[in-house]
């Protein structure tokens, strides 16, 4: 096997891989290993979007690789990242959390998050508090070049007091007192996306629950796509309505089957409820988390080894049902 520009092992077809820091050429071959993409595009101190599709398509494979590569001082941005951000906090990778909630949707608030917030373990973290709606509006502002978005939904809540970035103002178009909260734009450094399929140029199809995927991706400076399947460009071009982010906006595309485990991926993988419950039970104290993280992350070479470790447990989560959508006719003549 030859080595590509990023130092990762590549096949012969990948030898001319071009991953530009600007990363906007339409026809570049952007297929690479996930570890190489993170080494190239994710420095210490980066602000990162994980979990933009809410409880669906959370890029856990990226979470694990960030821990293996020892990233530090990250600002994790997500409306709901389930146990992903909790893992990164426990591993000492996180300095700031920008989001609505960090925890285990099956079990409650993440133990590492609580320890860091309440006791500074393994070290203190700074928390930028949002609601699900207001973080969505912050992504919207970042995506469309707005300095802020006025909202009313958090007026009277503690979020206005706990997050000094959110300012109170009066509606300038009202003749009577009309307070609004000004939510500033969020522009992350990197967004990680899990998609059902993508081509080598970064064009992808995603369907089902997409949450804030499009807004967060447009707002981000760089995008790394984790594809469950790599397909020919003609497959993606056949259904342009499923392309939320075109390839010219993508910096790297990585073939990582089941990158979402233990979360779900519509049409591909079911949610691994038992895995979530076990994580919550095993991480109740710092020593338990360290044991869990060694077993499932640090001592596992990469996501292929992680899938092998799961074995039949993963195969049982594969969606085998068939519920296709109706065909769409894109003919113009």
Q: Where are the domains of the chain?
A: 24-127+191-315, 148-184
Question: What is the model's pLDDT at position 176?
Answer: 97
Reduced to 3 states, what is the DSSP secondary structure of residue 167? strand
Arithmetic mean of pLDDT, 175-180: 96
**What residue has token string 């691994």?**
272
Q: How confident is the model at residue 26 (pLDDT cuts 50, 70, 90)?
A: low
Average pLDDT, the chain: 91
Q: How confident is the model at residue 25 (pLDDT cuts 50, 70, 90)?
A: low
Arithmetic mean of pLDDT, 109-137: 94
Residue 137 pLDDT > 50: yes
- Name the burial class of residue 195, with classes exposed (0-12), middle (13-18) and buried (19+) by CB atoms within 10 angstroms of its CB: buried
Question: What is the model's pLDDT at position 222?
Answer: 97
Q: How confident is the model at residue 317 (pLDDT cuts 50, 70, 90)?
A: very high
pTM for this model (two decimals):
0.91
Arithmetic mean of pLDDT, 164-183: 96
Arithmetic mean of pLDDT, 7-20: 39
Contact 204, 225 (CB under 8 A): yes
Residue 24 pLDDT > 60: no
Centroid of chain to Cα 147: 23
Question: What is the model's pLDDT at position 200?
Answer: 97
Arithmetic mean of pLDDT, 176-195: 97
Residue 129 pLDDT > 60: yes
**Residue 308 φ then ψ, to 5°:** -65, -40
Arithmetic mean of pLDDT, 10-32: 56
Residues 6+ apart with CB under 8 A from 10: 1, 2, 3, 4, 17, 32, 33
Residue 16 pLDDT > 60: no
Residue 113 pLDDT > 90: yes
Q: Which residue has the higher pLDDT, 256 or 23?
A: 256
pLDDT tens digit string along 253-294? 999 999 999 999 999 999 999 999 999 999 999 999 999 999
Arithmetic mean of pLDDT, 18-31: 64
Reduced to 3 states, what is the DSSP secondary structure of residue 49? strand
Q: Where are the beta strands (DSSP E) in 4-46?
A: 9-10
pLDDT tens digit string along 187-234? 999 999 999 999 999 999 999 989 999 999 999 999 999 999 999 999
Stated as kind and residue range, the H or E segment containing 180 is strand 179-184
User: Quick one: fold of 24-127+191-315?
Assistant: Glutaconate Coenzyme A-transferase (3.40.1080)
């Amino acid at each position: 096997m030859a080595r590509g520009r990023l130092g990762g092992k590549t096949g012969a077809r990948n030898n001319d891989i071009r991953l530009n820091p600007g990363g906007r050429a339409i026809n570049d071959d952007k297929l690479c290993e996930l570890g190489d993409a993170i080494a190239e595009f994710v420095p210490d101190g980066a602000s990162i979007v994980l979990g933009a599709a809410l409880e669906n398509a959370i890029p856990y494979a990226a979470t694990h690789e960030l821990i293996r590569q020892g990233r530090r001082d990250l600002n994790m941005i997500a409306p709901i990242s389930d146990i992903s951000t909790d893992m990164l906090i426990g591993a000492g990778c996180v300095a700031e959390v920008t989001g609505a909630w960090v925890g285990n949707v099956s079990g409650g608030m993440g133990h590492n998050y609580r320890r860091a917030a309440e006791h500074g373990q393994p070290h203190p973290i700074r928390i930028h508090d949002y609601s699900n709606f207001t973080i969505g509006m912050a992504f919207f502002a970042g995506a469309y070049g707005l300095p802020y978005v006025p909202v009313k939904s958090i007026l009277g809540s503690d979020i206005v007091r706990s997050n000094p970035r959110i300012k109170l103002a009066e509606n300038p178009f009202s003749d009577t007192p009309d307070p609004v909260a000004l939510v500033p734009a969020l522009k992350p450094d990197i967004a990680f996306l899990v998609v059902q399929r993508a081509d080598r140029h970064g064009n992808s199809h995603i369907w089902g629950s997409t949450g804030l995927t499009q807004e967060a991706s447009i707002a981000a400076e760089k995008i790394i796509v984790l594809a469950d399947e790599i397909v020919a460009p003609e497959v993606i071009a056949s259904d342009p309505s499923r392309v939320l982010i075109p390839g010219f906006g993508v910096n790297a595309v990585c073939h990582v089957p089941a990158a979402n485990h233990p979360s779900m991926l519509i049409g591909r993988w079911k949610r691994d409820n038992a895995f979530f419950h076990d994580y919550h039970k095993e991480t109740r104290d710092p020593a338990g988390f360290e044991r869990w993280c060694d077993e499932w992350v640090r001592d596992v070479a990469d996501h292929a080894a992680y899938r092998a470790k799961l074995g039949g447990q993963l195969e049982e989560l594969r969606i085998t049902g068939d519920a296709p959508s109706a065909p769409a006719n894109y003919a113009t003549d």
